[in-house]
Amino acid sequence: MASVRSPSAVLGNFRATSYRLAAWRQRCCYHSYEYSQPPPFPPAESAILSAAIAHVPGYGFTTDALRLGARDAGYMDVSTNLLPRGVFDLVNYHLVTQRLALKNSVQFAAAEEQGKRLGTGAKVRALTLARLRANGPILHRWHEALAIMAQPSYAPASLAELARLADEIWYLAGDESVDSSWYTKRASLSAIYSASEVFMTQDMSKDFVETAQFLDSRLGDVMKIGGFVGALTAWADYTAHSTVNVLRSKGIRI
């Protein structure tokens, strides 16, 4: 299991979210519909990681899971050296593949054919909840992923993937904004998703009903607050403190 240096370092990493996401005001860093995306991982890495992710429920986000994945994929244990970031590559594989799976996991056509016209907000909610629920099978191991992503060397890549997830959700929901709201919508959704993800690690309700309620409340808050900086800072602070508490509850010394 990965270690975390100190509470202040973890808090600093998550507070930095507001500054990194605010940089979107200066430039658009990702448009899912403007680029023809190559396969996200080279074949050998993809084979090892896709096999290793199946071992996460039992072994966690660990080198053991990676070694077992390499064997299952027909490679020697030493082949895990193909993964320069080690267990973070396993975390990142889950993040990327689940983001890319969203376009096929949530379908709105059937609902609209039945006369249930869904607005953009309803679609954003459905997509965000679908992505959260995709963590379900490995939720008991997600505190390990949080600890890994909180490490200073991996925080930038984690935040970049979070930005891509927010953009993907808004794009799939049909958002066509091209003004400054493009940035604020995605930054706010990134903060909401992060807070909901941390909340979900402690959710014992059936089908994660309490997480859905938490998400609805946060989405409602952004409509009431309307302010980008205040809302984002508040959720960044919530995520930081909650993540520290979650990791401590799991026995990680920080």
Where exactly are the structural domains of the chain? 11-249
**pLDDT mean over 187-198:** 90
**pLDDT mean over 188-199:** 91
pLDDT band at 52 (very low <50, low <70, confident <90, very high): very high
In this prediction, residue 110 carries a pLDDT of 54
- In the predicted structure, residue 243 carries a pLDDT above the cut 70: no
What is the model's pTM? 0.77
- Burial class from Cβ neighbours inside 10 Å (0-12, 13-18, 19+) for residue 170 reads buried
Four-CA torsion 92, 74, 84, 21, nearest 10 degrees: -10
- 146-149's contacts with Cβ under 8 Å and 24+ in sequence apart are 146/198, 146/201, 146/243, 146/246, 146/247, 147/1, 147/2, 147/3, 147/4, 147/247, 147/252, 148/2, 148/61, 148/87, 148/88, 148/91, 149/88, 149/91
Question: Helices (H) and strands (E) in the chain — how many of each?
Answer: 12, 0
In this prediction, residue 12 carries a pLDDT of 47
Of residues 236 and 74, more confidently modeled: 74
Q: Which fold has domain 11-249?
A: Tetracycline Repressor; domain 2 (1.10.357)
- In the predicted structure, residue 9 carries a pLDDT above the cut 70: no
User: Residue 237 half-sphere exposure, CB side, CA atoms within 13 Å?
Assistant: 6
Q: Contact 86/64 with Cβ under 8 angstroms?
A: no
pLDDT band at 221 (very low <50, low <70, confident <90, very high): confident
Tokens of 6: 């100190």
In this prediction, residue 16 carries a pLDDT of 45
Question: Cα–Cα distance between 103 and 71 in angstroms, integer?
Answer: 31
- In the predicted structure, residue 91 carries a pLDDT above the cut 90: yes
pLDDT band at 224 (very low <50, low <70, confident <90, very high): low
Q: Contact 46/39 with Cβ under 8 angstroms?
A: yes
- In the predicted structure, residue 129 carries a pLDDT above the cut 50: yes
CB atoms within 10 A of CB 20: 17
**pLDDT mean over 139-161:** 93
**pLDDT mean over 163-180:** 88
